[in-house]
């Protein structure tokens, strides 16, 4: 039996899908449901479903980032989007990230059944049925690469925006709907650097500009950049720039 998870903040949609769709006909069973993206990600990691039906416009959720995160971490999971969000470009980007079907609410039973038929057949091919097409793994790899690239870009953008906070790998991973282990792996693969290295490089880059202002004290700059203390800031700065913050300031003001 293929396991299915349903994520939607409208209970009527979740219950309706559970009851109306003939899951057994397609060799499926509903393994879990959720009403928001965060709990949905938790349910997915707990149940490891084969198929996901999800909305992408829920409170405090970045739909495309969630889709990329899920498809990147669970590349074989088939995803059907159920949404009232009528935007062609958005739908095109979702499909580029590996979404199997993009269905507008209210969806007709025929559309749901076609989506389910398509996803179960795709899973059968992925799991090694004799008629598996040669292009299958290539298409899967392309979708995975697109999703992973999206995740990395999103994570780097988040670091660039939130570098001054007490930022952790766990927080950035949660914002991208992936595990911290998976995000760490992707950052190393795509940038050749660890999360800490990327965060420190961003902070030191900002520090260079702040040091141009002689009215700012070193410890003030350290606080502005999110370092725990000025000693740590000075140590990281010297490691990256080969000079201390004071030496750097003196050089640019000579």
User: What CATH number should be reported for the domain holding residue 18?
Assistant: 3.40.50.2300
pLDDT-based confidence at residue 135 (cuts at 50, 70, 90): very low
Sign of CA dihedral 26, 29, 34, 40: negative
Indicate the helix (H) or strand (E) that contains 251: helix 245-252
pLDDT tens per residue, range 13-68: 999 999 999 999 999 999 999 988 888 888 999 999 999 999 888 777 778 888 89
In a domain, 22, yes or no: yes
Q: What is the DSSP letter of 108?
A: P
Task: Give every strand in the sheet of 2-7, ordered side by side.
Answer: 28-34, 2-7, 51-54, 78-83, 101-104
Please tell me whether residues 119 and 214 are part of one structural domain. no
10/126 same-domain check:
yes
- Whole-number Å distance between alpha carbons of 176 and 159: 12
pLDDT tens digit sequence for 66-96? 889 989 999 999 999 988 878 788 888 888 8
CATH number at residue 224: 1.10.10.60
Q: In this structure, is residue 76 part of a structural domain? A: yes
Total number of domains constituting the chain: 2
Pull the structure tokens for residue 125: 């091919």
Residue with tokens 């980007």: 93
Answer whether 206's CB lies under 8 Å from 167's CB: no
Helix (H, G, I), strand (E, B) or coil at 83: strand
Sign of CA dihedral 179, 180, 185, 186: positive
The predicted-structure confidence for 146-158, as pLDDT tens digits, reads as follows: 899 999 999 999 9
């Amino acid at each position: 039996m293929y396991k299915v998870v349903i994520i939607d903040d409208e209970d009527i949609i979740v219950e309706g899908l559970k009851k109306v769709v003939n899951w057994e006909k397609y060799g499926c069973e509903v393994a879990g449901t959720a009403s928001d993206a965060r709990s949905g990600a938790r349910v997915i990691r707990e149940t490891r479903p084969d198929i996901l039906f999800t909305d992408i416009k829920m409170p405090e959720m970045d739909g495309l980032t969630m889709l990329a995160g899920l498809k990147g971490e669970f590349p074989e999971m088939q995803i059907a989007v159920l949404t009232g969000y009528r935007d062609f470009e958005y739908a095109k980007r979702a499909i580029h990230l590996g979404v199997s079907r993009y269905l507008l609410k209210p969806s007709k039973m025929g559309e749901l059944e076609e989506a389910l038929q398509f996803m179960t057949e795709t899973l059968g091919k992925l799991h090694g049925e004799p008629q598996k097409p040669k292009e299958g793994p290539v298409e899967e790899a392309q979708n995975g690469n697109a999703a992973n690239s999206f995740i990395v870009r999103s994570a780097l953008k988040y670091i660039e925006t939130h570098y001054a906070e007490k930022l952790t790998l766990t927080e950035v991973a949660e914002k991208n709907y992936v595990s911290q282990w998976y995000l760490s792996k992707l950052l190393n693969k795509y940038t050749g650097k660890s999360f800490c290295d990327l965060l420190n490089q961003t902070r030191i880059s900002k520090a260079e500009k702040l040091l141009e202002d002689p009215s700012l004290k070193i410890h003030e700059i350290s606080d502005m950049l999110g370092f725990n203390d000025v000693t740590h800031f000075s140590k990281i700065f010297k490691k990256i720039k080969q000079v201390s913050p004071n030496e750097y300031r003196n050089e640019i003001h000579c």
